[in-house]
């Protein structure tokens, strides 16, 4: 197992490459109330898990988008990870397709709500909606 310094460094590099500033802002915002949890996001979620080599970063983001769309309880996190998907090279179309597919596995309301988050991200980043569907 990597040592703690390496876990944090790997995690910081991974969170930076996936989420850019938005994920780091979440981590920063947690330091007042739960500094250890902020560290767990960096060292465990990104350092131990999301940095692993067995799955490429775009596919990992698709998996996260699928899960958060299906669960339907984490709109803010879904927004971070749709941004993350674009950051690591997913096309808008791949993101939209993933959310559409959830209509089969989690129902139409899950997809409608997921698309609302995707639209918000696409519009903030100037992504053409016409090519995303």
Task: Point out which residues bind a second copy (CB under 8 A).
Answer: 1-4, 8, 26, 30, 32-37, 39-41, 43-45, 48-50, 52, 54-55, 59-60, 62-74, 76-77, 93-94, 96-113, 115, 118-119, 122, 129-130, 132-133
Task: Rank residues 46 and 87 by Cβ distance to a second copy and give the closer one.
Answer: 46
> Which residues contact residue 49 at a Cβ distance below 8 angstroms, ignoring those fewer than 6 apart?
none
Taking the complex as a whole, the smallest distance from the CB of residue 124 to a second copy amounts, in Å, to 14
Taking the complex as a whole, the smallest distance from the CB of residue 4 to a second copy amounts, in Å, to 5
Task: Rank residues 87 and 114 by Cβ distance to a second copy and give the closer one.
Answer: 114
Q: Which tokens in the block code for residue 126?
A: 């100037």
Task: Rank residues 3 and 126 by Cβ distance to a second copy and give the closer one.
Answer: 3
Q: Which tokens in the block code for residue 106?
A: 């989690």
- H or E segment and range at residue 94: helix 92-106
Positive or negative, the CA dihedral 125, 62, 57, 73 is positive
Taking the complex as a whole, the smallest distance from the CB of residue 41 to a second copy amounts, in Å, to 7
The closest of 38, 18, 14, 10 to 83, measured between CA atoms, is 18
Taking the complex as a whole, the smallest distance from the CB of residue 86 to a second copy amounts, in Å, to 14
Would you say 48 and 87 are in contact if contact means Cβ atoms under 8 Å apart? no
């Amino acid at each position: 197992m990597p040592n703690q310094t390496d876990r944090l460094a790997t995690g910081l590099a991974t969170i930076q490459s996936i989420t850019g500033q938005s994920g780091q802002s979440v981590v920063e915002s947690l330091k007042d109330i739960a500094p250890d949890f902020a560290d767990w996001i960096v060292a465990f979620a990104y350092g131990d898990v999301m940095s692993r080599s067995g799955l490429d970063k775009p596919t990992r983001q698709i998996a996260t988008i699928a899960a958060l769309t299906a669960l339907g309880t984490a709109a803010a996190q879904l927004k971070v990870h749709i941004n993350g998907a674009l950051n690591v090279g997913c096309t808008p179309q791949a993101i939209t397709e993933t959310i559409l597919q959830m209509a089969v596995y989690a129902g139409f309301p899950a997809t409608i709500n997921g698309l609302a988050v995707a639209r918000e991200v696409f519009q903030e980043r100037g992504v053409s909606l016409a090519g995303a569907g």
